[in-house]
Amino acid sequence: MKSLIDRQVGTRIAKMLQEAQHKHGHIQEADINRIADQVGEPVRVIQDVIGFFPHFRRTAPPFCHVSICRDMSCRLRASVEVAKQLRELQEDVGDATLEVTEASCLGRCDRAPAMLINELLFVAHTPRECVDAVLATLAGSSPKPDSDTDTATVSLARAEIDCYRSIHEAKTMGSEAPASSYYAAVRAYVRDPNPDKVIQALKTAGLMGMGGAGAPASDKWNEARNALGEAKYVVCNADESEPGTFKDRDLMLAAPHLIIEGMIIAGLISGAKQGFIYIRHEYFEQIARLESAIQDAVRLGACGHDIFKSGRDFRVEVFVSPGGYVCGEQTALIEALEGKRSEPRNRPPELQTNGLYDQPTILNNVETFAWVPSILLQRPSPQALEQEQASNTSVIVEPAGLWYKYAGRNRSRGKRFFSISGDLNRPGSYEVPCGITLGELIDEYAGGMRDRVPLQAVALSGPSGGFLPAWLPKGAIRFPKKTDREGKETDELKFPKLVGDPTDIKLLPLDLNASREIGFMLGAGIVVYNENADMLDQAIACSRFYQRESCGKCVPCRLGSRKMVDMAESLLITKASHEIDHLKGVAMELANIMEKTSICGLGQVASNPLRSYLRFFHSANR
């Protein structure tokens, strides 16, 4: 059995491959042989990794390489038509001069359509601007790359997540706190190193994973803290590849110190000495910003060796993903971090006991870590203390986390960010109280429907949750009842405002626990469609997305996702009602099989775009 040190060469493999590609534009045979010799692995191991990840290439790139997003919001803004025009241009100028590929979501859904030109970001207001940018590049005068800085600044301008900015503004009326004022939560912990106190604060706050699964952060941290291992790790999932999702993009650029501090706290309470931020390679500015912020933290003494003279060590390192949506699945991410093919693991065991290099690992999303400093440092308001005293007869000894607990609406805990895009006046990333309605997010934050065209559909979790209609028919959602103090069900409904036939989708509460009770998926990325959107086209595109992004490890996902695409595409020509009824039956049966037998979440949700289209939209649109 390999020692822990021997197993850690995997991270080096991935980094060395990326360095080689960055140097030459592609990975050469000499690079493969050199890396194999340096890490002591067979050449076939290195080749296997290269062949799995879409970002690695073995041939020299053309003079101009264009990668344009084909998913959801960009598709609404005519990115597919732009790609067609660019491919026609490619035929004219030749493959050695221009290469055009369609990419999965690039994380700029709020500024669709988005594309990369020679690995630089370009977002356009019109399809014509996309074509003109490529023509300018071919002529030798590349357009100025776009930046995420402005959107990140706006997203964080009024957010409570950055407790340092609000404290600094109160003192100086400035816009940003100096770096020296950061890491107060780390300073407080090394003065009073009490892991139980931190775990209790997270539990009191009710902080949940913000990457989709929604597991309580306190449980994850405590389990990893108590697990035995040769070493422990903290990993931040910054891959953010779910179409429609881009809120972590802004957090990393505008407030990287919060993420790093949350990871340091996780390391200190669990005993981990190493942290990794696993980030998608298309987030160029965010990578540079995080690396700079880590250096600042080290200079301040908050990170690295002997944190604030405490004798404790914790290093943080940025790891750039070689690409692939499946890397967002937590066990697949760990495989990629180990320098392997990014194929999800069977669970159990869980990462808290057997994670990176088979050691105890805390893995959370960007936003989850970013909330930790605020939860630990911010004091509750008098109103929050009154609410807690009214619901809890015991004496409040430690109020940490209480402000966050009561920051939500309608019995919901906390606040969170949503990315919302599509047919809206102000698509963007917004921090909101949990429990507000979808209608409030659309109308009050995102400025309402673009050009006042009525709402047709909403994807509440990127493509993963499928599409829901503006008016939900009877049976589309559940109506849970309240329980009494003994846990017995009463006759009173938890969400009486939802009762209706049909139910206005804009009344749905944006709360993870509520969504589970009602029976729909709620993610961080929401895409809104008006009445002009072609929902069959969107269903086909989302089904193709899952088919392309499947790692192929398990049969239900590998074959099932392909069959879903075939069935979705057949709807373009199928008209007979009996054929459609048969197709619906097959699709629903296959969807149930995929959901129950696929190894990871990708295969379990891959059927949702087609399944939801058939349920809610086909008869209305065809």
Give the confidence band of 6 by pLDDT, cuts at 50, 70, 90. Answer: low
Angle at 34 between CA 28 and CA 36, to 5 degrees: 105
| pLDDT band for position 5 (cuts 50, 70, 90) | low
Task: Name the pLDDT band for 410 (thresholds 50, 70, 90).
Answer: confident
Query: Which range, 11-25, 159-173, 419-433, is most confident?
Result: 419-433
pLDDT per position as a tens digit, 474-483:
989 998 888 8
Q: How confident is the model at residue 391 (pLDDT cuts 50, 70, 90)?
A: confident
Mean pLDDT, to the nearest integer, of 286-296? Answer: 97
Q: What is the dihedral of CA 408, 409, 411, 416, to 10 degrees?
A: -30
Class of domain 64-146: alpha beta
Beta strands at 503-504 and 471-472: parallel, antiparallel or unpaired = antiparallel
Tens of pLDDT, residues 37-96: 998 889 999 999 999 988 899 999 999 999 999 999 999 999 999 999 999 999 999 999
CATH no. for 534-622: 1.20.1440.230
Helix (H) or strand (E) holding 154, with range, is helix 149-156
CB count, 10 Å around CB of 361?
28
Highest mean pLDDT among 22-26, 125-129, 378-382, 559-563: 559-563
Tokens of 129: 């601007």
Is 211 in contact with 237 (CB distance < 8 Å)? yes
Lowest mean pLDDT among 128-132, 555-559, 618-622: 618-622
pLDDT, tens digit (0-9, with 9 covering 90-100), for 414-429: 999 999 999 999 999 9
**Is the pLDDT assigned to residue 174 strictly greater than 60?**
no
Distance in angstroms (rounded) separating the CA atoms of residues 407 and 548: 40
Lowest mean pLDDT among 340-344, 424-428, 456-460, 526-530: 340-344
Counting residues of the chain whose pLDDT is more than 90, the rounded percentage is 75
- Residues 210 and 498: their CA atoms lie apart, in Å, by 25
Sign of CA dihedral 293, 299, 304, 309: negative
Q: CA-CA distance, 423 to 425, in Å (whole number)?
A: 7
pLDDT at 166: 63
CB 229 within 8 A of CB 360: yes
Tell me what the mean pLDDT of segment 395-400 comes to: 70
Average pLDDT value over all residues in the chain = 91
pLDDT tens digit sequence for 190-199: 999 999 999 9
Confidence class for position 104, pLDDT limits 50, 70, 90: very high
Q: Is pLDDT of 170 > 50?
A: no
Q: Architecture of domain 173-377 in CATH? A: 3-Layer(aba) Sandwich (3.40)
Residues 376, 276: Cα–Cα separation, whole Å: 22
Element (H, E) at 11: helix 9-24
Q: How many CB atoms are located within 10 Å of the residue 5 CB? A: 10
- Judge: domain 408-532, CATH 3.10.20.600: yes
Q: What is the pLDDT of residue 2?
A: 63
Q: Does the pLDDT value for residue 490 go beyond 70?
A: yes
- Torsion sign across C-alpha atoms 484, 488, 490, 493: positive
Instruction: Check whether 622 has a pLDDT greater than 70.
Output: no
Helix (H) or strand (E) run with residue 279 in it:
strand 274-279
Q: Which two tokens stand for residue 50?
A: 């290269």
DSSP summary character for residue 216: B
Please tell me the distance from the alpha carbon of residue 459 to that of residue 469, in angstroms, as a whole number: 9
Give 237 or 396, the one with higher predicted confidence.
Answer: 237
